[in-house]
Amino acid sequence: MTANSLSISQEYPHCITSHSRQVNVQIAQEEVYTFFIEAVNTMSPDEVLRKFKALFIDGLDSEYCYSIPGIYKIFLDDKEDDFRNTLKRCIYIIINTWKTNRKDKYIQELINLFAIKNLELKANYFPAINICKSWLENFINSKDYQEIKLFAAKHDELYKGHWANRYTSYFLVAQSVNENNPREQQEAARKLSRQIKDKYKFELAMYIARSQSAVSSTTRYKNPSVLGDNVLRLIKAIVLKKGVFSHENIANIFIKQTQGQTLEQFKISIEKYLFFSVDNQELVKTLRQQFAENLSLWKKDYNQEILTKELFLRTCNRVIDCFTTENGKEPSLLFILLLTQGHSLTLVIILLKTILICRNSRRHLEIKIAHLIRYYEKYPEDECKWVINFMEIFNITFAIYAENVEYNLIKIEEDQSSNPQLNLDAYRVFSQMKVDRQK
């Protein structure tokens, strides 16, 4: 069976119906997937769109449909979930290939096939056909369809509308690791998340360069954050922590010093490491007590075990849980305590220090961030300013420290103070790409 010889609207539904009811639905699904994998690689985008529409939509977009389209006959025994999963995976098979081949404009056309203005699902006299129509309507109104629309949106469009849209990259990370999603969706989400992050890093670096330029008044570059022009002082304050006592160096020392420790010893060590150099000592005392009690109760039966790589990773993930969300639904007590008291930067630095000793926990952290945004997105922006402030500082800090761009603070004018924090205006920030030594 080849894509060129197959007419979906005629031959393929007949092939599908031979599998219906008595033969495993998975066999028919695999045939559909195989067809679209071949079609999207051998046919023109316009032809793929016609084939897709013929299979999933034609016949249902008319009130005068008198027979069930072939694809739907597989699923009529109360298998709406199977139908939706099949439809989703076919869409992502197409999206992945077109994204790779830079045919993004056709992705929008694919999504437009489901637009209400292009699709009339009027009631029909045949109950079975109405069931099929309801499945398609349910899909159009589902979260699945909203997620698909992300892959057609232009970069600037991703940030329009609800305030949570500015943090789409974290939702995409959550999609990419959700095993309930088809692998094509996971791959597409992973790629798009990386593209959004790379775009943010580029815009941040360009904004820093232009905002410090003598001609910036007429050629200002877009600020990717919502913190306003004060973001430059924040960036300087973050980059200032360099040299012998940089977060990276302290993290490397910590990793060496904790080798061979038991889990119980490591719990004590990581508590000291995370709260080292936090300025507000009264806050530190409260936080350390809350954190120590939480972590000490975790995996007590393993306390005397020597720390393995797996146990190290799980402990760092647990630390992230303590400071973000422990159940993936509501924010943790420590998260609320830090942010409501105006210590967003402190929380971000604690999370950064965790990732600097365990970079494999980065994905876990981003999933937790996605959970937090999902929790708060039901509230209006005015009620979430402290959460948004945290997110903006988080994005900037991780772009500076945990990505492939290196930032440095260079003194450009003399001042009377030996402490550069007292006159950040005497310094400029410079950025350059890091060399990947593992390649």
Where are the domains positioned within the chain? 11-152, 197-433
Query: CB under 8 Å to 427, separation ≥6 — which residues?
Result: 236, 240, 409, 410, 411, 412, 420
pTM above 0.85, yes or no: no
Residue 437 pLDDT greater than 60, yes or no: no
Which of 117-126, 170-179, 396-405 holds the top average pLDDT? Answer: 170-179
Determine which of 59-73, 278-292, 304-318 has the lowest per-residue pLDDT on average: 59-73
Classify 408 as helix, strand or coil. strand
- Vertex 198 angle, CA 193 and 204, to 5°: 125
- Determine the pLDDT at residue 2: 41
% of residues, the chain, pLDDT over 90? 51
Q: Nearest 10 degrees: CA dihedral of 416, 420, 424, 427?
A: 90
DSSP run (H or E) holding 372: helix 362-376
> Is the backbone of residue 78 left (phi > 0), alpha (psi -120 to 50) or beta?
left
Average model confidence (pLDDT) for the chain? 83
- The span from the CA of 79 to the CA of 72, in Å, is 10
Q: Which of 332, 341, 368, 365 is nearest to 351 (CA)?
A: 365
- Determine the pLDDT at residue 366: 97
Per the CB < 8 A criterion, the answer to whether 346 and 393 are in contact is: no
How does residue 208 score in pLDDT terms, banded at 50, 70 and 90?
confident
Determine which of 183-187, 326-330, 424-428 has the lowest per-residue pLDDT on average: 424-428
In a 13 Å sphere around the CA of 243, the CA atoms on its Cβ side amount to: 5
- The span from the CA of 110 to the CA of 119, in Å, is 13
Residue 64 pLDDT greater than 70, yes or no: no
Determine which of 48-57, 74-83, 130-139, 214-223 has the lowest per-residue pLDDT on average: 214-223
- Determine the pLDDT at residue 14: 43
Between residues 19 and 267, the one the model is more confident about: 267
127-173 pLDDT, tens digit per residue, is 777 888 889 889 999 999 999 998 988 777 777 788 999 999 999 99
Query: CB under 8 Å to 278, separation ≥6 — which residues?
Result: 284, 287, 346, 349
- Determine the pLDDT at residue 255: 96
Per the CB < 8 A criterion, the answer to whether 415 and 423 are in contact is: yes
Q: Which of 381, 363, 330, 328 is nearest to 165 (CA)?
A: 381
- Vertex 359 angle, CA 353 and 363, to 5°: 105
Residue 18 pLDDT greater than 60, yes or no: no
386-409 pLDDT, tens digit per residue, is 999 999 999 999 988 866 667 766
- Determine the pLDDT at residue 65: 58
Query: CB under 8 Å to 288, separation ≥6 — which residues?
Result: 271, 275
Here the tokens at position 206 are: 């360009």
- Distances in Å between the Cα of 316 and the Cα atoms of 124, 197, 411 are 57, 23, 36
314-354 pLDDT, tens digit per residue, is 999 999 999 999 999 999 999 999 999 889 999 999 999 99
Which of 112-126, 144-158, 236-250, 414-428 holds the top average pLDDT? Answer: 144-158
233-279 pLDDT, tens digit per residue, is 888 878 776 555 688 889 999 999 999 999 999 999 999 999 987 76
Here the tokens at position 1 are: 């069976």
Residue given tokens 């979906």 in the structure block: 8
- Determine the pLDDT at residue 439: 35
Q: Which of 415, 392, 414, 396 is nearest to 405 (CA)?
A: 396
Q: Which of 115, 183, 191 is nearest to 151 (CA)?
A: 191
DSSP run (H or E) holding 293: helix 281-296
- The span from the CA of 47 to the CA of 347, in Å, is 52
